[in-house]
A = this chain, B = another copy of it.
Amino acid sequence: MADYVYGPGRNHLFVPGPVNIPDPVIRAMNRQNEDYRSPAIPALTKILLEDVKKIFKTTTGTPFLIPTTGTGAWESALTNTLSPGDRIVSFLIGQFSLLWIDQQQRLGFDVDVVESDWGHGADLAALERKLRNDTLHTIKAVAIVHNETATGVTNDLAAVRRLLDAYAHPALLLVDGVSSICALDFRMDEWGVDVALTGSQKALSMPTGMGIVCASPKALEASKTAKSVRVFFDWKDYLRFYEMGTYWPYTPSIQLLYGLRTALDLIFEEGLDNVIKRHNRLGTATRFAVEAWGLKNCCQKEECFSDTVTAVVVPPYIDSAEIVKHAWKRYNLSLGLGLNKVAGKVFRIGHLGNLNELQLLGCLSGVEMVLKDVGYPVKLGSGVAAAAAYLSNSTPLIPSRI
C-alpha cells in the first residue's frame, strides 16, 4: 500500500519521536512471525537483556522489554515500586511531565507537584526543601523526566542524586528517559537511578511498541512489597519467566526483538559515547541556527538546553501550528507542534535518533523557508550558515570510512 498522502522524495521526519529508523533496522524487522517458545527466541532475548543494560549504563539493573509505549513504561515504573497513597515528589515542567503526573494521580498516589514555568528545568531548590523537611521519609519516590520533550529542557539528574544523598533520603529515584536514553549522557548506576525507562521509537530509532524499563536492585526489592494493582505490567511475571529461561510471560513482537538487536548493533558500532556526541553536535548546530534566525529557545537556561529537541518560540503574530502544518504541506517536513501551554507559541525540531548532519541542514533550510512563508522576516540561509559553520568544525570523519 502506498502512503496515504504521497509527496515526491523523502519525508523529513523531525518530530521528537517517532524518529527515523535506520535501514538496517527496517531490514531486520522485515520478517515472518516465529514461535517464541522455540529455543531461538529465548537465546536471542537473553543476549538482548544483557546488551540493553549498556544503554542505561548499568551493570546491576534488571531490564524489562514490555510490549507497550512510554505511557505504559511509566505505569510499569510506578505500580511495581509504589503503593496507593505513597507520596511522590514530581516535577511539572512541560506537557510530558504533566501527563506523567496525571497518571500518578490517577493511579492513586499522593503527588507532591513541584511546578516550574514551562521552559525551565525542575526546581531542585524546592526538592531540597522538601527533602530537608522530610525527616520521616514520607516521600517514597522522586519522579522526574530527564528531558522534557515539550519544551526542550534537560534536567540535571546528578544533582538530584546529590540532594538525595546529602539528606541520606531513601526515596526511589524514578526517571523518564524517553527522549534522553541513547541520545543524552545517562548513567543509571552512577546516578543511583532506581527505575529508568524509554520507548523504542525514540533515540533507539525503532518503531513504536517496546517500552524498555530498567530497575535497580532497590527498585526490585521495593516491587516485592508494592501494593499497587498490576498484572500486565507486573515485573514478577517477567522475573518468573527469566528464571525459567523462557523469558516471556506473554507474546513478544518477534520483529521488534530482531529490530532491537540491530538497533543495538548500530549504536555499539558507532559507540554510545559517539552517539551522545553526535546528538550534542546536532543540538548545538540547531541552536546556532535558531539564534541566527533571531528567535528564542523555549528553554530558558543554557545548562538545560536539550540535545534531542529544540522548542523554538515564534513571535506573537505567528501561530506556530501554521508553521508545522505548512512545513508538511509544502516541504514534506514534519516538525513538532507546541503543546498545551505553549501551543501556538513554539514549534519543535526533534534532532534525536539515527540522524546526520546533512539531514539536519536540510531540515533547517526547510524551516527557514517556512518561516519566510508565514511572514517572519528570516534571512534565507542564515540559520544553515550558522549551523554549518559549527558542524564544519566539529564533525568527525565516519570511522568505518577513514
Where the two chains meet, the residues of A that have a C-beta atom closer than 8 Å to any C-beta of B are: 1-13, 15, 17-24, 26-41, 43-44, 67-72, 74-75, 84, 102-103, 106-108, 199, 201, 207-209, 228-234, 249-256, 258, 261-262, 265-266, 269-270, 275, 278, 328-334, 336-337, 354-359, 361-363, 365-366, 368-369, 372-373, 379-382, 384-386, 388-389, 391-392, 395-398, 400-402
Residues of B within 8 A of A3 (CB): 23-24, 40
Chain B min CB distance to A275 (Å): 7
Shortest Cβ distance from A134 into chain B, in angstroms?
26
- Beyond A9-B354, A15-B37, A361-B365: 11 further Cβ-contacts under 8 Å? A3-B40, A15-B35, A20-B32, A26-B31, A29-B255, A30-B30, A75-B232, A107-B229, A361-B362, A365-B388, A368-B388
Report the minimal beta-carbon distance from A359 to chain B, rounded to whole angstroms. Answer: 5
A344 → chain B closest CB, angstroms: 15
Chain B residues near A270 (CB-CB < 8 A): 6, 8
8 A-B interface contacts by CB (under 8 A): A2-B24, A13-B33, A17-B251, A37-B337, A207-B253, A329-B402, A365-B384, A365-B388
Q: Are A201 and B251 in contact (CB under 8 A)?
A: yes
Q: Which residues of B are found within 8 Å of A5, using beta-carbon distances?
A: 38-40, 43, 398, 400-401
Contact of A265 among B2, B27, B334 (CB under 8 A): B2
* Residue contact A34 to B11, C-beta cutoff 8 Å: yes
Whether A373 contacts B354 by the Cβ 8 Å rule is no
Chain B residue with the shortest CB-CB distance to A35: B334
A214 to B3, CA, bound (A): 27
User: Are B32 and A23 in contact, with the CB atoms below 8 A?
Assistant: yes
- A229 interface neighbour in B229, B258, B333, B379, Cβ under 8 Å: B229
Query: Given contacts A253-B209, A331-B357, are A32 and B40 in contact (CB under 8 A)?
Result: no
Contact of A208 among B23, B75, B254 (CB under 8 A): B254
Copies in the complex: 4
Option from B22, B253, B332 in Cβ contact (under 8 Å) with A398: B332
B31 touches A18 (CB 8 A): no
CA–CA, A311 and B169, complex, Å: 55
Question: CA of A24 to CA of B256 in the docked complex: distance in angstroms?
Answer: 16
Bound: A362/B68 CA distance, A: 35
Question: Min CB distance, A255 to chain B, in Å?
Answer: 5
- Give chain B residues whose Cβ lies under 8 Å from the Cβ of A74: 232
CB closest residue in chain B, given A266: B6
Query: Separation in Å of the A277 CB from the closest CB of chain B?
Result: 11
In the complex, the answer to whether A366 meets B355 with C-beta atoms within 8 Å is: no
Tell me the minimal C-beta distance from A306 to chain B in angstroms.
19
Q: Is the CB of A67 within 8 A of B70?
A: no
**In this complex, what residue of B is CB-closest to A3?**
B24
Q: Is A334 a contact of B34 with CB atoms below 8 Å? A: yes
Known: A23-B31, A30-B30. A18 touches B357 (CB 8 A): no
- Contact at A38–B328, with CB atoms within 8 Å? yes
User: Measured between C-beta atoms, what is the minimum distance from A260 to chain B in Å?
Assistant: 11
- Inter-chain contacts of A38 with B (CB < 8 A): 5, 328, 334
Q: Which B residue's beta carbon lies closest to that of A267?
A: B8
The CA of A215 and the CA of B386, in the complex, are separated in Å by 53
Query: How far, in Å, is A113 (CB) from chain B's closest CB?
Result: 17
Residue contact B1 to A13, C-beta cutoff 8 Å = no
Q: How near does chain B come to A30, taking the closest CB pair, in angstroms?
A: 5
- The answer to whether A398 touches B329, judged by C-beta atoms less than 8 angstroms apart, is yes
Known A43-B4, A207-B254, A401-B329: A201·B33 in contact at CB below 8 Å: yes
B31 touches A330 (CB 8 A): no
Q: How far is the CB of A193 from chain B (nearest CB, A)?
A: 22
Cβ-defined partner of A329 (8 Å) among B19, B199, B381, B397? B397
Q: Is the CB of B67 within 8 A of A398?
A: no
